[in-house]
Amino acid sequence: MLGGFVLYAVSAPHSIAASWTGLSFATLGWLVRTLATQHLRVTRTALDLPLWLFFVWTILSALLSTEPRISLPKLASVSVFLIFYLAQSLLTRTMIVLLASLMIVSGTAGALWSALEVVRGRGMIIEEIAPDSSLRRAAPLLQAGDTIWRVGNRRVTSVTEIDKALRSAPVGTWMALHVIANGEHVVWDGVLITNELKRAASPSGIKGRASTHRFRASGWTRHYETFAEVLQMLAQLALGLALANFQRRRTHWRVWLPAIAFLLLATGIALTAMRTVLVAFAIGACVVAWRAVAGKRERILVSLVLVAILSLGAIAVWQTRARGALRLQDASATLRWNVALAALERIPLHPVFGHGMDAVNSHWTEWNFPGQQKIHTHSTWVQLAFDRGIPALLLWLWIIAAFWRLATRAERIWRASPDDANAHGFTLGACGALAGFFASSIVNYNFGDAEVALLFWWMMGAIVVLRKDG
């Protein structure tokens, strides 16, 4: 069971597949132990009622969906909340601190890699593309100045590597193109591999040499949104551990190691150029600093660090994203706004059970959503009300409120304990992580992101354990 949680902790910032593998091992151990002992070891909390009501409401929403064949299979992803019960049943105080530390170290490694990759560069900038290029046929919008950085699942940095990736693919398959255009990651369906393409002198039909430094960092993943959201939560845990140990005058390394991790994680967030997550990170860090009952000097220091990180983030947005991004006048902000408005206009048509999860994918144009790219509303609040109805949104807010109450109570209990600084640091960081998560949820659909949701539910279960031990 511990091995499964360790695999999850190391993988949490980077891989959903590895995270699920680790949690699956932990779940298997849980089932074996439960059958042997006939005891679930689950504590009743104020979270149980809103959690199960939310789940039941989601089931009803899927059954009554405008597209039940699409919505019902989505229930498998909704059941991820059971990780909350898995965590509180298996975790101990020592395990929580160990796993949180592993997550922080793993996230810090990803942030360091991101910084090094920005310095080194990514992919290959297209200098010239032939009119008859197979890539142009696959992606008509591809143009000189764009950067190709992945072909299929293979990273590439030169024309030779791109051509090699195309030639190595089986005939009749499609190779997806991962492109950076104006700092944004774009994925096109890809190139159809044919014998003619393989025999060509240059299957790609492009020229280029230099790598780009204008991209949004994503660690070892391809998803900077997910990476930023996870780092935001881990950064708050690191800050909480640093401040809790500092208050108790612990040995220097117990303070400086999490403090350095916090700075590196914060830098990683800045390099993702995620405007909203940067603001959410600042809000969460302020919650941690103020709840830590830190002195004026410590609060000023945290504030100065936040100003520096926000400034770095502003520079990253200015350098990597489209013109006007800092003023929210770019195409991305406009698209988000228009999609959210389209969803808000339709909520009154199905206010109780919503339209059904992902049902919009079959009615995008019919329901007056803009463009052809099918995306979510970039707001947990709007998405829940649109997909599952206004009552589901209210139940979700109830869950957040109950979690906040539980976390703050646990933090107050451990704050008064002079013995276990790490338990206090975790509860303190969890308060900041929840505050940041909630702030980001207003303008990001982070609750629908599997990696973020797993960490959310795991942290909630850990808080129950610490509240009980305290």
Residue range 258-302, pLDDT digits in tens:
999 999 999 999 999 999 999 999 999 999 998 887 667 777 888
pLDDT for position 404: 97
Across the strands, what pairs with 155?
150
Question: What stretches of 121-251 show up as alpha helix (H) in DSSP?
Answer: 134-138, 159-168, 195-199, 224-247
State how far the Cα of 404 lies from the Cα of 433, in Å rounded to an integer: 10
Q: Are 426 and 97 in contact (CB under 8 A)?
A: yes
Residues 246 and 357 in one domain: yes
| Confidence grade of residue 469 (pLDDT, cut at 50, 70, 90) | low
State how far the Cα of 412 lies from the Cα of 356, in Å rounded to an integer: 40
Residues 163 and 98 in one domain: no
Which of 152-166, 217-231, 379-393, 455-469 has the largest mean confidence? 379-393
Across the strands, what pairs with 146?
144
Residues 156 and 278 in one domain: no
pLDDT for position 282: 95
Question: Quick check: 67 pLDDT over 80?
Answer: yes
State how far the Cα of 3 lies from the Cα of 418, in Å rounded to an integer: 31
Question: Quick check: 363 pLDDT over 60?
Answer: yes
In CATH, what number is assigned to the domain containing residue 151? 2.30.42.10
Mean pLDDT score across all residues of the chain: 89
Across the strands, what pairs with 191?
175
Across the strands, what pairs with 150?
155, 178
Name the pTM for this structure: 0.91
Residues 240 and 139 in one domain: no
Residues 161 and 264 in one domain: no
22 assigned to some structural domain = no
186 assigned to some structural domain = yes
- CA of 269: how far to CAs of 178, 232, 313, 426, 439, in Å? 22, 7, 8, 20, 15
| Confidence grade of residue 463 (pLDDT, cut at 50, 70, 90) | very high
Q: Which of 177, 207, 237 is the last residue of a domain?
A: 207
Task: Collect all residues with Cβ–Cβ distance below 8 Å to 446 and sequence separation of at least 6.
Answer: 229, 380, 437, 440, 452, 453
pLDDT for position 432: 97
Q: Is 38 left (phi over 0), alpha (psi -120 to 50) or beta?
A: left
State how far the Cα of 322 lies from the Cα of 181, in Å rounded to an integer: 9
27 assigned to some structural domain = no
Containing domain of residue 191, as a range?
124-207
- Give mean pLDDT, residues 426-451: 95
The more confidently predicted of residues 138 and 355 is 355
430 assigned to some structural domain = yes
38 assigned to some structural domain = no
215 assigned to some structural domain = no
Residues 93 and 149 in one domain: no
Question: Quick check: 40 pLDDT over 80?
Answer: no
- Give mean pLDDT, residues 109-137: 88
Residues 142 and 246 in one domain: no
Torsion angles phi and psi, residue 175, rounded to 5: -110, 115
Residues 255 and 350 in one domain: yes
Question: What stretches of 323-420 show up as alpha helix (H) in DSSP?
Answer: 331-346, 380-388, 390-415
State how far the Cα of 28 lies from the Cα of 6, in Å rounded to an integer: 15
For the chain, first and last CA: distance in Å? Answer: 24
Q: Are 146 and 104 in contact (CB under 8 A)?
A: no
Q: State the CB neighbour count (10 A cutoff) for residue 179.
A: 22
142 assigned to some structural domain = yes
14 assigned to some structural domain = no
User: What b-and-e string marks burial along 313-334, b requiring 16 or more CB atoms within 10 Å of the CB?
Assistant: bbebbeebbeeebeeeebebbe
Residues 413 and 318 in one domain: yes
- Give mean pLDDT, residues 361-381: 87
Question: Quick check: 470 pLDDT over 60?
Answer: no
Q: Domains in the chain: how many in total? A: 2
Q: Which of 207, 240, 266 is the last residue of a domain?
A: 207
Q: Are 114 and 198 in contact (CB under 8 A)?
A: no
Which stretch of DSSP H or E encloses residue 192? strand 184-192
State how far the Cα of 217 lies from the Cα of 206, in Å rounded to an integer: 25
Percent of the chain with pLDDT strictly greater than 70: 99
Residues 244 and 327 in one domain: yes
Residues 342 and 464 in one domain: yes
Residues 318 and 444 in one domain: yes
Q: Which of 172, 207, 242 is the last residue of a domain?
A: 207
